């Protein structure tokens, strides 16, 4: 199969940029997925250990890929509901 792909690219040289762009996009998507899986605490694979990991997050720490001027303050109503449900 690999030899057929090389022969096809030799015959149709206009496919080389397309193959390069698609390969870069696939590599970027894969590395981004692995980055978020390993570094973000709200992304989980196993729900049996902690089914709601977002409850344990530090609200002062930014969770987005890019955060500009994040100001966090607690919502009073939400804090009251949390105290009542515990």
Which tens digit of pLDDT belongs to each residue from 18-62? 999 999 999 999 999 998 888 877 677 776 777 777 777 777 676
Q: Burial of 40 by CB count in 10 Å (0-12 exposed, 13-18 middle, 19+ buried)?
A: middle
Counted domains in the chain:
1
The more confidently predicted of residues 76 and 55 is 76
Q: Give me the domain span that covers residue 35.
A: 2-85
pLDDT value for 80: 87
pLDDT attached to residue 67: 67
Element of type H or E holding 25: helix 15-39
């Amino acid at each position: 199969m690999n030899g057929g792909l090389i022969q096809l690219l030799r015959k149709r040289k206009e496919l080389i940029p397309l193959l390069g762009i698609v390969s870069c996009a696939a590599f970027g998507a894969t590395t981004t997925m692995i980055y978020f899986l390993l570094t973000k605490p709200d992304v989980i694979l196993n729900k049996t250990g902690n089914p709601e990991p977002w409850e344990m997050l530090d609200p002062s720490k930014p969770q987005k890929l890019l955060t500009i001027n994040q100001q966090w303050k607690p919502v009073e109503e939400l804090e009251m509901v949390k105290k009542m449900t515990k």
